[in-house]
Amino acid sequence: MKELNINGYKETIIERSDYPFETCKEILKNETTAILGYGPQGCGQGLNMRDQGFDVILGLRKGISWEKALKDGWVEGENLFSIKEATARGTIIQFLLSDAGQIQSWPMVKENLHKGDALYFSHGFGVIFNDDTGIVPPDGIDVILVAPKGSGLTVRTHFQAGRGINASFAVHQDFTGKARERCIATAFAIGSGHLFETTFAKEVHSDLTGERCVLMGLLQGAFLAQYEVLREHGHSPSEAYNETIEEALQSLYPLVSEKGMDWMYANCSTTAQRGALDWAPKFKDTLKPVIEECYQKVISGAEAKRAIESNSKSDYRYTLEKELAAVNNQEMWVAGKQLRQLRPENL
């Protein structure tokens, strides 16, 4: 374990070496993990557990996800079942359906839980916003969370590359007295690299804020704003795209990932350094109130309510595809499709 002290805030990071493979196998030796849902997280976590020899089964509806699971080598009646049967067979129930899918399936899942089971989430949404979701776990079970800090695809590809992706974990309810060990062992079984502890509430509040801000929403908005300014002042699509996105993703952001923002600054020209240092505070002062507004809407439940109402509409999929198509057809991303093909690795 690694003890961190960041400006007086102390926390413990749990590393793989603290829970080696043999220890995780021993902790989970009498457990059957039932993964409900085969979206990105269900797929990534399930395949990683299966590849390492843990006792894992899937619970799915017949349809697209079922067919995908069959193609991935899951076998009906052996490790592929209906959601109801998988829930009844499992002792650790990984509830990895979409938020809307969890709401719909919860009454049936709850009915098939057994005393002493562990109900596992990778997002605190359903439990924390239970006034809207109706998801209130019964008393006689453990309730745990492992939230990988990346997409399910990244969970899988990092595992295949021999790496792990960091994740948060939380124990919401410890009925058996072993919820923490079940949680941590499962976290490493799905391919996590290191773990930091949180709560269900903190996980969902930080996650929803991050998605709406620097991880996705703010990123798209900032990219588009700069691209449009450059194009409106006569710059070509290639120049606007390269100065906005290509250089960021291919050159500068990897430097930030490697050693931090100061390292990236130090490896740019003195002119770039001066401009970045002067303008960063302006952007921070402009954006912080917007992010604070977003955070307040998250913790109030307004964002959860909007998501549930939107995702529950009968035409949700059609509307979503229209919105995504509008992003896809923005000139910035049309240029990107063509320019990415010119990267050296694609030639």
Q: Which of 114, 123, 205, 233 is catalytic?
A: 123
Distance CA 51, CA 162 (A): 12
Q: What is the mean pLDDT of residues 164-190?
A: 96
On average, the pLDDT of the chain sits at 95
Burial label, 292 (beta-carbon count in 10 A; 0-12, 13-18, 19+)? exposed
CB neighbours of residue 219 within 10 Å: 13
pLDDT tens profile 66-91: 999 999 999 999 999 999 999 999 99
Q: Which residues pair with 197 in a beta bridge?
A: 169
Distance CA 241, CA 247 (A): 9
Give the architecture-level CATH label for domain 210-346. Orthogonal Bundle (1.10)
- pLDDT for 343 equals 87
Give the architecture-level CATH label for domain 2-198. 3-Layer(aba) Sandwich (3.40)
Please confirm, yes or no, whether 114 is among the known catalytic residues: no
- pLDDT for 346 equals 79
Number of helical (H) and strand (E) elements in the chain, helices listed first = 19, 10
pTM given for the model: 0.90
- pLDDT for 345 equals 81
Long-range contacts of the stretch 244-248 (C-beta < 8 A, 24+): 244/332, 245/332, 245/336, 246/336, 246/339, 246/340
| 128 neighbors 105 (Cβ within 8 angstroms) | no
Do 2-198 and 210-346 come out as alike in CATH topology? no
Q: What is the mean pLDDT of residues 209-225?
A: 96
- pLDDT for 344 equals 84
- pLDDT for 75 equals 96
pLDDT tens profile 23-60: 999 999 999 999 999 999 999 999 999 999 999 999 99
Q: Where are the domains of the chain?
A: 2-198, 210-346
- pLDDT for 57 equals 97
